[in-house]
């Protein structure tokens, strides 16, 4: 019996610290380069892999340049059954061609990059998001569980997994099946860990990216609690961060006719 999820999860986090140092630093370099060049780091995940996407921005202690993409059809789990239920969400994330429709909304530019989260790395939408980004010539950071992805058969017609399309691959180090704890009298393990490790990886990349950007004085406005900087300064930082995000976002969007947003059209 595994008595403590916290103890078990701490061991997984230590494994990430021991084995993923180089990949995380490489991801931070990619992210900082995009942000410094006035581009964005798109972040995408389906299912519970949307959680690190929501963690990346906007949060206290985060800054624009990271651009979350979350499709409600594949991330809204509260209903469980009925309309917008879990069955539909799990089906949709395996639909081939959907990623192309998502990416058609965005102008992928050479100074942008994409971070894709998928524990299994086997579903069509995350894989095809990475494929589409690489076809557009932008670097891909794949965050996945290597144990999980190699435990199951390849499902995508390309015969590939998400990890096959990453310029940088970060291992979540979560075990096959994700759950950590075995309880007496219960056959199945309990207590998933991949969300915990994904959020840890996101924040490590965020901090390292800030360190690289700070060396050149290029850190965007950081969203900060009023309890640290006072109400007025906190409001100023929030507004500045939102405006910076909006400015960058304007250069990423495509209209129905394929035209680029105003900022992108100006060659910002």
- What is the model's pLDDT at position 264? 39
Q: Is pLDDT at 262 greater than 50 in this prediction?
A: no
Q: Is the bond into 58 cis (omega within 30 degrees of 0)?
A: yes
pLDDT at 266: 32
pLDDT in tens, 54-88: 999 999 999 999 999 998 888 777 778 887 788 88
Q: What is the pLDDT of residues 171-216, one digit of tens each?
A: 999 999 999 999 999 999 999 999 999 999 999 999 999 999 999 9
Q: What is the pLDDT of residues 35-51, one digit of tens each?
A: 999 999 999 999 889 99
Which residue segments constitute the domains of the chain, with CATH numbers given? 5-265 (3.40.50.10490)
């Amino acid at each position: 019996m595994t008595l403590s999820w916290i103890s078990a999860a701490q061991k997984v986090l230590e494994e990430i610290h021991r084995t993923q140092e180089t990949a995380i630093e490489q991801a931070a370099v990619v992210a900082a380069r995009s942000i410094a060049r006035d581009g964005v780091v798109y972040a995408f995940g389906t299912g519970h892999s949307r959680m690190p996407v929501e963690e990346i921005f906007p949060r206290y202690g985060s800054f624009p340049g990271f651009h979350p993409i979350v499709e409600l059809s594949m991330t809204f789990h509260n209903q469980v059954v009925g309309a917008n239920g879990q069955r539909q969400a799990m089906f949709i994330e395996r639909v081939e061609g959907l990623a192309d429709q998502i990416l058609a909304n965005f102008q992928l530019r050479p100074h942008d990059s994409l971070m894709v989260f998928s524990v299994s790395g086997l579903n069509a939408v995350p894989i095809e998001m990475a494929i589409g980004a690489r076809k557009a010539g932008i670097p891909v950071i794949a965050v996945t569980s290597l144990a999980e992805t190699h435990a199951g058969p390849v499902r995508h017609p390309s015969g590939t997994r998400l990890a096959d399309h990453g310029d940088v691959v970060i291992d979540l180090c979560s075990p096959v099946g994700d759950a950590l704890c075995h309880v007496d009298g219960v056959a199945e393990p309990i207590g998933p860990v991949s969300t915990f490790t994904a959020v840890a990886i996101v924040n490590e990349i965020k901090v390292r990216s800030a360190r690289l950007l700070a060396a050149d004085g290029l850190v965007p406005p950081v969203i900060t609690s009023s309890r640290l900087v006072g109400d007025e300064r906190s409001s100023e930082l929030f507004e500045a961060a939102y405006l910076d995000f909006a400015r960058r976002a304007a250069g990423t969007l495509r209209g129905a006719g394929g035209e680029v947003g105003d900022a992108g059209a100006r060659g910002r």
